[in-house]
Amino acid sequence: MHALPPNDMLEVTRLTREGQLTEATALLQRLLQGEPASAAPRPA
């Protein structure tokens, strides 16, 4: 099991609360694959 950084999980939570489930899922997948969260595009 991977330990995900708290800040990244906060970002996933924020995306989920805003209804951006596709983006939240993509971020989780990247994190679980060991990619940095910075690879995730941030909404403007």
pLDDT digits (tens, 9 = 90+) for 2-39: 677 889 999 999 999 999 999 999 999 999 888 877 65
pLDDT given at position 4: 77
CA distance 22 to 38: 17
pTM over 0.75: no
The 3 state secondary structure assigned to 1-44 is CCCCCHHHHHHHHHHHHCCCHHHHHHHHHHHHCCCCHHHCCCCC
The residue written with tokens 């996933």 in the block is 12
CA distance 44 to 42: 6
CA distance 39 to 44: 15
